[in-house]
């Protein structure tokens, strides 16, 4: 098992490094009345890689244009991001291409050098995990599982409208952002939650009284808030990151797979007695020089797979 990726252990603003996934579909009402039509909807899940904070957007289809609209809503409410991580879904591939085209178009029509530099600096690095490797995106896959669990409990077999789903998913977002990460202090019963990094307090906190009538000379609120935020990140660094370190599986080190190795791909949809055999043409090592992804040449074409999805054939 590899070390934690760098974005998971950096104390950055929420959603600076974001994981992305789609879940669904769910049935929705697209018209009112006795004979209301039933359609489908999905929800886009944005996960902060540092704090596990969550943002959910409901989308009406899987087109690139709909995703870009949802992404703009996310960007407007959560702030700019630098890196986006996702699987290789066609929606995400098309969205990345569209965003690159929009950025190039803006740069080509920009006459102001300062404005062009600003647009260039706002570019997003989009990272795709290897195909057929959902464990590479475990941080957002676990959130998809949690959202579906709460959704089944609340909705059941009911068919809701688009607005009703938006409301319910916003409440589920609040619930998941209030989940405990680690103790907030050694003597407190309150846990540190993703909401602390979003709004400075848990979603269940009692509203504070207004300080507008208090003499400004008596207030040191800004210093208190700064110390509070720094305390959140210190506890995050000392307690939460340490809880992510244990390795639950893949604990035995093995030799790296070399190029030219004969392997069998573990493909779930092949019929009986059919085996997809090929040879590795390239190996992709991580920062620790361990190979976890390989490119395999088969009779059907070239596949990029994690090593857990290939079986090495022994030499006799």
Q: State the DSSP code for 284.
A: E
Helix (H/G/I), strand (E/B), else coil: 295: strand
pLDDT, mean over the chain: 77
Co-location of 134 and 39 in the same domain: yes
Instruction: Identify the pLDDT of residue 108.
Output: 59
**Across 5-9, 102-106, 195-199, 202-206, least confident range:** 202-206
Q: Which has more confidence, 227 or 118?
A: 227
The domain boundary residue, chosen from 136, 158, 177: 177
Show the domain range for 300. Answer: 262-312
Co-location of 35 and 135 in the same domain: yes
Instruction: Identify the pLDDT of residue 204.
Output: 58
Percentage of the chain modeled with pLDDT above 70: 75
Q: Which has more confidence, 55 or 248?
A: 55
Is the model's pLDDT at 185 over the cut of 90? Answer: no
Between CA 65 and CA 72, with CA 70 as vertex, the angle to 5 degrees is 95
Which of 15-19, 205-209, 237-241 has maximum average pLDDT? 15-19
Instruction: Identify the pLDDT of residue 119.
Output: 47
Domain CATH for 100 = 3.30.420.10
- End-to-end Cα spacing for the chain: 29
Please check whether residue 208 is in contact with residue 233, taking contact to mean a CB–CB distance below 8 angstroms: no
Instruction: Identify the pLDDT of residue 104.
Output: 67
Instruction: Identify the pLDDT of residue 252.
Output: 77
Strands 301-306 and 191-192: what pairing?
unpaired
pLDDT, tens digit, 9 for 90 and up, residues 81-95 = 888 888 877 777 777
Q: Which residues pair with 303 in a beta bridge?
A: 296
**Across 43-47, 80-84, 197-201, 234-238, least confident range:** 234-238
Is the model's pLDDT at 314 over the cut of 80? Answer: no
Instruction: Identify the pLDDT of residue 249.
Output: 75
Co-location of 151 and 291 in the same domain: no
Instruction: Identify the pLDDT of residue 46.
Output: 93
HSE-up of residue 246 (Cα within 13 Å, Cβ side):
4
**Based on the structure, what is the number of domains in the chain?**
2
pLDDT, tens digit, 9 for 90 and up, residues 192-219 = 888 888 877 666 555 555 555 555 555 4
Percentage of the chain modeled with pLDDT above 90: 5
Is the model's pLDDT at 147 over the cut of 50? Answer: yes
Is the model's pLDDT at 5 over the cut of 70? Answer: yes
Q: Give every CB contact of residue 30 below 8 A, 6+ residues apart in sequence.
A: 36, 37, 38, 39, 162
Beta strands in 99-251 (DSSP E): 125-128, 160-161, 182-183, 191-192
The domain boundary residue, chosen from 177, 197, 218: 177
pTM, rounded to two decimals: 0.71
Co-location of 171 and 69 in the same domain: yes
What is the C-alpha to C-alpha distance for residues 307 and 275, in angstroms, rounded to an integer?
A: 17
The domain boundary residue, chosen from 177, 194, 226: 177
Q: Per the domain annotation, does 29 fall within a domain?
A: yes
Q: Per the domain annotation, does 186 fall within a domain?
A: no
Instruction: Identify the pLDDT of residue 214.
Output: 54
Confidence grade of residue 55 (pLDDT, cut at 50, 70, 90) = very high
Co-location of 12 and 126 in the same domain: yes
Which of 106-120, 169-183, 254-268 has maximum average pLDDT? 254-268
Is the model's pLDDT at 222 over the cut of 70? Answer: no
Q: Per the domain annotation, does 240 fall within a domain?
A: no
Q: Whose CA is closest to 45, among 57, 30, 59, 62?
A: 57
Confidence grade of residue 187 (pLDDT, cut at 50, 70, 90) = low
In the structure encoding, which two tokens stand for residue 16, read together?
A: 């600076």
């Amino acid at each position: 098992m590899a070390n934690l990726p760098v974005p998971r252990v950096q104390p950055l603003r929420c959603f600076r490094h974001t994981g992305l996934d789609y879940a669904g579909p769910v049935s929705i009402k697209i018209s009112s009345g006795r004979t209301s039509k039933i359609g489908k909807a999905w929800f886009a899940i944005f996960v902060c890689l540092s704090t596990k904070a969550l943002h959910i957007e409901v989308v009406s289809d899987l087109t690139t244009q709909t995703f870009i609209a949802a992404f703009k809503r996310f960007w407007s409410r959560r702030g700019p991001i630098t890196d986006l991580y996702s699987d290789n879904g066609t929606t995400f591939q098309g969205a990345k291409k569209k965003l690159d085209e929009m950025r190039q178009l803006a740069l080509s029509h920009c006459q102001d050098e300062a404005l062009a530099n600003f647009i260039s600096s706002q570019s997003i690095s989009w990272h795709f995990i290897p195909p057929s490797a959902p464990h590479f995106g475990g941080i957002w896959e676990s959130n998809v599982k949690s959202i579906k669990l709460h959704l089944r409990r609340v909705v059941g077999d009911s068919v809701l409208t688009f607005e009703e789903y938006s409301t319910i998913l916003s409440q589920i977002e609040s619930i998941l952002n209030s989940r405990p990460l680690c103790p907030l202090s050694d003597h407190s019963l309150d846990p540190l939650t993703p909401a602390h990094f979003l709004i400075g307090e848990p979603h269940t906190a009692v509203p504070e009284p207004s300080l507008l009538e208090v003499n400004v000379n008596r207030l040191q609120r800004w210093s208190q808030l700064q110390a509070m935020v720094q305390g959140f990140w210190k506890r995050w660094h000392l307690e939460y990151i340490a809880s992510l370190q244990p390795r639950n599986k893949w604990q035995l080190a093995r030799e790296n797979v070399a190029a030219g190795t004969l392997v069998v791909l573990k493909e779930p949809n092949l019929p009986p007695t059919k085996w997809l055999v090929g040879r590795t043409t390239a190996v992709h090592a991580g920062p620790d020089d361990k190979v976890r992804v390989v490119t395999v040449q088969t009779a059907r074409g070239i596949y990029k797979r994690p090593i857990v999805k290939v079986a090495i054939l022994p030499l006799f």
